[in-house]
Every structure is written in C-alpha cells, then in structure tokens.
Amino acid sequence: MGAESAPRNKFFRRPSTLAERNFIADALRTETVGGALLLIAAVVAVIWANTGWSNAYHDLRDFRIGPEALNLHLSLDTWAADGLLAVFFFVAGIELKRELVVGDLRNPAQAVLPVVAAACGMLTPALFYFAVNAGGGSLDGWAIPTATDIAFALAVLAVIGTNLPSALRSFLLTLAVVDDLGAILIIAIFFTDSVNFLALAAAFALLVVFALLQRFRVRGWWWYVPLALVIWALMHESGVHATVAGVAMGLLMRVVPDRDERTSPAEHVEHLVRPVSAGLAVPIFALLSAGVAVSGPVLADVFTGRPTLGIMIGLIAGKVVGIFAGTWLVARFTRAQLSDDLAWWDVFGMSMLAGIGFTVSLLIGELAFTDDPELTEQAKAAVLVGSVLAAGAASIVLRIRNNTYARVCAEENRDDDGDGIPDIYRADADRLRDDKLGHS
C-alpha cells in the first residue's frame, strides 16, 4: 500500500524549510531586478523600432566606434554582442566552475539529471528545427532554439514561485549553466568562419598566464583587468567569437578560498561583476538587439516561415520534450533520482520555462543569418514571440504548483490554539509523548 501511495504523494511534497525559503527568496529578489531590467530594455527596443524614431534606433545600433588600427572599429551592436556579453559569459563561467568544484556537478549522481536535461534540452529543439525546415527551409538557424536565458528564466521563477521548492531553482540554475557552456561551444565550433591561429595562440598563452596568476595567488585588479582586455581583443582578432574569452577566464577563477581568505577570488569577483552583467551588459545588449519591426506581415512570416516556425516550435515544444523526457528516462532507467523536494509537475513547468531563449538565442540568430539581414530580423522576432509564449505557458503551470505548495505551507503554519507553535509540530510532539508513555 505504501509503495502505491509514494508516487501520488510526490506531486504534493512539502515546501522547503522556512530558513531555506527566506534565503532563496533574498537571492531571487536580485535576480528579479536583473530580469526586469532585461525585459524593460527589450520592450523599449521593440517600441523604439516601431515608432517614427526607428531610424534613430538603427543609426544608434549601427554607430561605429573604436580604434581601426586594432580592427576594433565596431558598431555599437557588435560591441554589445562581442564585448558586453563577454561579461555575461564570464559570470556564467564562474558559476559553472563553482558547480564543477563545490556544487551539484561535483557529485556525478547529483549532476547527471540536470546535465542530461541540458543536453537533451539543446539537442531536441535542434531536431525540431531540422524537422520543420527539412526539404525547403534554411537549416542555418538550427542552433537558435537550443539556448536558455538564465537571467530571464530565473527572474520569471522568482516572480511566480515564492513557495516553490528551492531544489527547483538549483535544478534550473545547473541546467542553465551547462546550457550556457553548450551555447559557447556551438558558437566557437559552428560560427567561426576563419581563424587567425597566431592571435588565437596568443590568446591561449595569455589565458595560461591568467591561470598562473590565480595559481600563485597574485592579487590586484591592475594585473587582471588589462590582461582580460588583451585576451578579449586577441580572441576577437582570431575570428573565434570573443565571448569565448569571457567564459574561459571565468572557468580559470579559483573558487575554493584559502585558510586566510574569507571568500574565494571567484566569489569576490562575481560579487563585483554580477551587477554589471545583470544591470548593464545584458540590458544594453537586449536594447541594441531586440528592436525588430513588429507588424502584421512580420508576425505572419513568423508563424508561417519555416525558419521562424522552427525556432518557435524548438523553444516552446522542443525544450519541454527534451528536458522533461530526458530527465524522466534517466531517473527511470538509471540509479539517478529526482530530488525528494521535487514533483514531476515541477520539472514539467521548469522545462517550459527553459524555452525562454532570448539573450543567447538573439546572439546566435545574428551569427546564423549574417548574409540575410531580413531573415535575421525575422529570427529575432521568432525568438521574442517564442520566449514570451514559453514564459506564459510556464507561468500558468508553475503558478498552479506554487499555489499548491502555498496551501501546504499554510496548513503547516496553522496555530489554532494560539500557543505560538504550529499545530503540526504540536501533534508530532503529542504523538512522540504518547509513544514514550506507551512503552514505559
């Protein structure tokens, strides 16, 4: 009888402890701010690009600045995609390093579910895109729906999921970090047309210097900031997308503090850089990238054109099928287990939330259709529409789950007798006392 009731109860597990909920809520508030800024920047870009001032928007995006002698006379749009997003991926690299060394990815038993979920969540949308575009559509955009926007997804989760288990956020965070690594590998491997091997070798040599500075505990921003700028410039010159430099330096940061250190260098630097990433780098990129013309014909093309339809189906359906099915199959046929705090409905809602591609999908969209500006704009529109639909669907499912956990939490905190102790704990204490008296 007990074996039969366990699966049913898994859909209605208790939320985390009060201390855990408060800790996660405090962290999620900061992510909410970053996600809100990202959303505001995207909305401003779309409105700006669809008003009488649209020419000013495009002039701003195409305005070029930087030293020509260093091949860095770039448009502001390129500076945002190659430069500011390198900051975003630097933070992502630190998060991945921490997860690998001291986090969930350190333990293979705990890491296997989110890692497989991330892999399936990238592979399946690409397959959906290929299926839609086979026999006539452009196959160049296959990588666009593979990405998950960690900032946007966590912000939505923070807004709608105040009572959801903290394990859900941890699962989503780990999945998104692995997803970011996959996106960087895709950009580096599939969207590098030509390589300047001399510049690339110089960049890797300086990355070794960066690692040695960390290894020998060299402190001082005056060492690292100039070195990071040179590494970024060399990576850009090499032809490999410059954001690779950001994630590489993040992975080289030391995440375990020494005995005489209160925090590790990675934690200290992340504390300083994260506000720049969330509050400046990503919103500016969204402002300069999300401004697409939205009209009846454009939306018609989004829902009828094969490439754009493949992007939306990949984000909305491909992510859900890949992440949920991959997680369920691994849990079903291996020794890996879903956290006791999570139910499968939670995983289903989170899988829908991972369909928010946005930042990285917009970046890949610019790289995928460089020879077709019109298709690039249509792909951006598809990313925006697909991300909004995925966020809306996920919000419905997770809001229902959040209300379920809220009811359980309210029941646990009931204090009908007004003694300051929740009745559920009083009942447990009474049962324990009766058991002791019964055995005495």
Question: What pLDDT, on the 0 to 100 scale, is given for residue 284?
Answer: 92
Distance from C-alpha of 249 to C-alpha of 242, rounded to nearest angstrom: 12
For residue 351, the Cα-to-chain-centroid distance in whole angstroms is 12
Say yes or no to pLDDT of 318 above 70: yes
Mean pLDDT of 374-392: 91
Looking at residue 300, its pLDDT comes to 82
| Interval 64-108: pLDDT, tens | 999 988 889 999 989 998 899 899 889 888 888 887 888 767 777
**Domain extents for the chain?**
2-191+241-411
Rounded mean pLDDT of 19-41? 61
**pLDDT value of residue 439:** 55
Work out the pLDDT band at 181, boundaries 50, 70, 90: confident
Distances in Å between the Cα of 78 and the Cα atoms of 64, 72, 90, 183, 401 are: 9, 10, 18, 18, 41
Phi, psi of 74 (to 5 degrees): -115, 160
Question: Residue 81: which of 187, 238, 225, 234 has the closest Cα?
Answer: 187
Confidence of residue 152 (pLDDT cuts 50, 70, 90): confident
| Superfamily name and number for 2-191+241-411 | Na+/H+ antiporter like domain (1.20.1530.10)
The confidence score (pLDDT) of residue 425 equals 58
Per cent of the chain over pLDDT 70 is 85
The confidence band for 8, taking pLDDT boundaries of 50, 70 and 90, is very low
Averaged over 335-343, what is the pLDDT? 84
Kindly state the average pLDDT of the residues 111-136.
92
Q: Name the least confident of 275-284, 346-355, 400-409, 417-426.
A: 417-426
Residue 141 confidence class, pLDDT cut points 50, 70, 90: very high
pLDDT at residue 435 above 90? Answer: no
**Four-residue CA torsion sign, 218, 224, 228, 234:** negative
Mean pLDDT for all residues in the chain: 83
89-103, 148-162, 327-341, 347-361: segment of lowest average pLDDT: 148-162
Tens-digit pLDDT profile for residues 259-311: 888 889 998 898 888 888 888 888 898 899 888 877 777 788 888 899 999 99
Q: CA separation (Å) from 88 to 31, 32, 285?
A: 14, 16, 10
Which tops the pLDDT comparison, 386 or 289? 386
Nearest alpha carbon to residue 333 among 149, 28, 113, 175: 113
Provide the 3-class DSSP secondary structure of residue 64: strand
CB atoms inside a 10 Å sphere around CB 252:
19
Considering the entire predicted model, what is its pTM? 0.75
> What is the rounded distance in angstroms from the CA atom of residue 165 to the CA atom of residue 343?
10
Cβ(168)–Cβ(86) under 8 Å? no
Mean pLDDT to the nearest integer, 197-226: 94
* Unique residue bearing structure tokens 């970011």: 180
